[in-house]
């Protein structure tokens, strides 16, 4: 029923709601790289469909129905990513863009089967939780590597964006989910981090990269 475009708006609002209290037209506009006027226009349509709520000049929120639809799209996206990596052997850097297209396929047979073949995974290859069939999603517990303190030992549990560019960079540095790193030093000038890796060698990561890495503290 909903066009791919509409599904992408729902998904955008959902994702933004996961990390912010308030989602503005401008946030959606930046996220989808369309003008604010376009977003405003689409919000009128989504309000008529009862998938979003918004008072004039106020932030947008998904309705229960809108949130459920968004969660189902994200569920399909993440199950597809998982299938592509686990069952087809594609690298985590390649699956996001494919899943971006597969998420719009209307076929419960397909996604239920992938889910079953994967034995009902809880997380996608980038560490993000997969919403269940009711749209429930576990809340992740993490902080960004850029927020870590000197001396802390952390483990990578997810990434903020699944772009090929970031993930190829991480591949090159031998960083994957589960990789442990100790923060040796934080450069005050550019907020880059000096890290000790598992093999005792050291590595410098820019603040841009550290802002994209989700970590948890681990015991020493």
Partner DNA sequence: TAAATTATTTAGATTGATCTAAATATAAGA
Partner DNA sequence: TCTTATATTTAGATCAATCTAAATAATTTA
Which of its own copies, DNA, none has residue 98 at its interface (CB below 5 to 8 Å by kind)? its own copies
104 binds, among DNA, its own copies, none (CB under 5 to 8 A by kind): its own copies
Among 15, 18, 38, 211, binds DNA (CB under 7 A): 38
User: Which one, 57 or 189, has the nearer CB to DNA?
Assistant: 57
To its own copies, the closest distance from the beta carbon of 106 in angstroms equals 8
**Partner whose footprint covers residue 203, from DNA, its own copies, none (CB < 5 to 8 Å by kind):** none
Q: Give min distance, CB of 88 to its own copies, in A.
A: 5
Tokens standing for residue 6: 């509409």
Q: How far apart are CA 162 and CA 182, in angstroms?
A: 23
54 touches DNA (CB under 7 A): yes
Binding piece for DNA, criterion CB under 7 A, among 11-19, 50-58, 112-120, 163-171: 50-58
Q: What angle do CA 12, 18, 177 make, to 5 degrees?
A: 100
Q: Which residues bind its own copies (CB under 8 A)?
A: 84, 88-90, 94, 97-98, 101-102, 104-107, 109-110, 113-114, 117
Nearer to DNA, 58 or 108 (CB): 58
**How many of the other CB atoms lie within 10 Å of CB of 149?**
9
CA distance 87 to 42: 37
For residue 172, give the H/E element and its range: helix 164-172
Contact (Cβ atoms closer than 8 angstroms) between residue 87 and residue 75 = no
| 58 touching DNA, by CB under 7 A | yes
| One of 40, 132, 152, 207 touching DNA (CB under 7 A) | 40
* Helix ranges restricted to H, 34-155: 36-48, 64-86, 95-102, 108-117
Shortest reach from residue 20's CB to DNA, in Å: 12
- Rounded CA separation 68/123 (Å): 18
- Both structure tokens of 216: 């948890």
């Amino acid at each position: 029923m909903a066009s791919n475009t509409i599904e992408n708006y729902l998904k955008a609002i959902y994702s933004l709601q996961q990390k912010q209290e308030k989602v503005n037209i401008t946030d959606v506009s930046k996220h989808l790289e369309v003008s604010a006027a376009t977003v405003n226009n689409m919000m009128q349509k989504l309000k008529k469909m009862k998938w979003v709520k918004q008072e004039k000049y106020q932030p947008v929120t998904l309705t229960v129905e809108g949130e459920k639809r968004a969660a189902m799209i994200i569920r399909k996206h993440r199950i597809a990513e998982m299938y592509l990596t686990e069952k087809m052997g594609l690298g985590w850097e390649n699956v996001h863009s494919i899943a971006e297209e597969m998420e719009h396929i209307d076929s419960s047979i397909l996604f239920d089967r992938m889910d079953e073949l994967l034995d009902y995974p809880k997380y996608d290859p980038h560490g993000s939780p997969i919403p269940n069939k009711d749209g429930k999603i576990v809340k992740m517990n993490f902080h960004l590597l850029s927020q870590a303190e000197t001396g802390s030992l952390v483990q990578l549990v997810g990434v903020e964006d699944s772009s090929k560019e970031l993930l190829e960079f991480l591949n090159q540095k031998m960083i994957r989910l589960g990789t442990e790193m100790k923060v040796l030093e934080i450069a005050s000038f550019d907020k880059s981090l000096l890290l000790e890796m598992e093999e005792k060698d050291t590595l410098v990561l820019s603040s841009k990269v550290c802002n994209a890495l989700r970590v948890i503290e681990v015991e020493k």
